[in-house]
Amino acid sequence: MLIVTANDIPGHRIDEVLGEVFGLTVRSRNVGSNIGAGFKSLVGGELKGITKMLHDSRQEALERLTAETEARGGNAVLAFRFETTEYAGTGTEVCAYGTAVRISPA
């Protein structure tokens, strides 16, 4: 699966545009992570628990985007992006999105 942020792929032609695809996950932060983040904010530094949660969330969203693209018969995603939003003050929503296409070498 080729996933790019560009609108085209050099050396390939777009045979079919299959439409927009999404991969979405919403994760809550655990109590320990929130307490640790509160203390860390007093002295500064990386919030490792939250960094790991966001990394894992992005990976899960990307896997879901890939699965949706494959289910539609696509083999690539163009104009790929991530969007992250705080959800109800207790968690984080991560959305991976782009345009599913079927490509072949030019």
Tell the burial category of 65 from Cβ atoms under 10 Å away from its Cβ (0-12, 13-18, 19+): buried
pLDDT for 43 = 66
Q: Which of 50, 44, 60 minimizes the C-alpha distance to 30?
A: 50
The C-alpha torsion from 46 through 52 and 54 to 57, rounded to 10°, is 180
Q: Where are the domains of the chain?
A: 2-27+59-105
pLDDT score at 45:
74
pLDDT tens sequence across 55-104: 999 999 999 999 999 999 999 999 999 999 987 777 889 999 999 999 99
pTM attached to this predicted model? 0.83
Write the pLDDT tens digit of every residue in 31-59: 555 555 555 566 677 778 788 889 999 99
Q: Does the domain at residues 2-27+59-105 carry the CATH identifier 2.60.40.3880?
A: no
